[in-house]
Amino acid sequence: MPVTWSKPSPFSISIPEARIQAVDAAVRAFDFADFDANILATHISENDFSLGLPPAIAKRLVKRLRTGYDWREYEKVMNDLGTHYIVKVDGIPGEPEPLSVHVIERRSKRDGAIPIVLNHGWPGSFFEFYKLAPLLTDPSNPNDQAFHCIIPSMPGYAFSSPPKARGWTGYKVAAAVDAVVQALGYEKYLAQGGDLGWATSSRLASEYPERCKGIHLNFIPPHYTPTELQKATMSADDIRGLEADADFERSGGAYFRMNKTVPYTVGLILASSPLAALFYIGEKLYRWPAPDSLLSIDEVLTSALLYIYTGSLTSSLWLYVAPTHSDHLHKKIQVPSAFSGGRVDLFWAPKSQVEEQHEKLVWWRILGEGGHFLALEKPEVLAREVREFARVSEVQRSL
């Protein structure tokens, strides 16, 4: 059955006031007393994540929700990011019914603007790109390349409907995203992504090279443990990425195993309390950026509330349930690609592994700044990297 799509229907974000009030009531009812009575007296640093989210940060988040945060302010920011649509996509393999996919289109007024799909990850959303997209569509330098930004919400995230069949993978996400891009009228495009957006962007390139003409990634995980002989030929940045991977597995990877093995349990816990969801997601949003480019407290709250208000906490986990290696490439990427990793990202694949999968790797580089959420932390840096990639002659010729 071929993948088909509907005409895009206009959409606007407007969370019902009753939903906002219900979350607000739950936040105001929470008392830290029982928690405070049971924490370790020595656990006092708000920069120490060795036991999870530091209590001082949790209390700061709750205080901001109670006394100053305004969802409607950020709702306007999100609505103003571009034109929002819902596209019905049918024919995704295994899915019993059409998916409703939310997408934002932000078009540039510049001649020669290049379409680019910006793919988010977990625990992110389209909101990750609220600072990056304007830099790409409306560059201050008239000589800089401009872009038309296409920002989808993955199925199961935010305002996109959840998949209903088990076995949801990056390949199926890419099929839905490619359909949405075509529904918007674009015949050729580039793609960019970090975190799980790496998988979506990579699948777009491997499965639809006639349309996806190049990808820029700011995250690529290693897909096997190299031998000592292989390590002997690796660069210092290669080794640093592998050591970070091993350290993350020991000290920060518990969430991955929980999301993968018991998603219903995780989903039930997070759906049972807005603050449970905020603390679970907020820990990652505070812990994973670089220390010198932390997200603002309102960015953390807005990112978490998108999951809470839309009830998408459980469905956002389905990509974790797929077989461990299902989203590593079974065929090579033959369009131009580039990797720009944050200086202190969680981990990254060594260059040799990336070269095995990417036949036209333009560059593999570790930047001098930034962490896991590069689009939020250092949007100007990521915009620079994307523009440089778009200037590559083979990319230019293909568009």
Kindly list the catalytic residues. Answer: 195, 320, 372
| Tokens of residue 78, six digits | 């999100």
Give exposure, 118-127, as e/b (b: 16+ Cβ within 10 Å): bbbbbbbbbb
**Dihedral angle of Cα 353, 357, 363, 368, to the nearest 10 degrees:** -50
In 3D space, the residue among 234, 251, 220, 231 whose CA is nearest the CA of residue 345 turns out to be 220
Radius of gyration in angstroms for the set of CA atoms belonging to the chain, rounded to a whole number: 21
In 3D space, the residue among 241, 201, 251, 244 whose CA is nearest the CA of residue 341 turns out to be 241
Strand duo 212-217 + 337-341: pairing: parallel
Return the beta strands (E) in 38-146 as ranges. 83-90, 99-106, 114-119
Rounded Cα distance, 53 and 32, in Å: 14
> Distances from the Cα of 40 to the Cαs of 32, 37, 52, 237, in angstroms?
14, 9, 13, 37
List the beta bridge partners of residue 119: 193
Rounded Cα distance, 307 and 121, in Å: 13
Residue 86 CA, chain-centre distance (Å), reads: 19
Residue 161 CA, chain-centre distance (Å), reads: 17
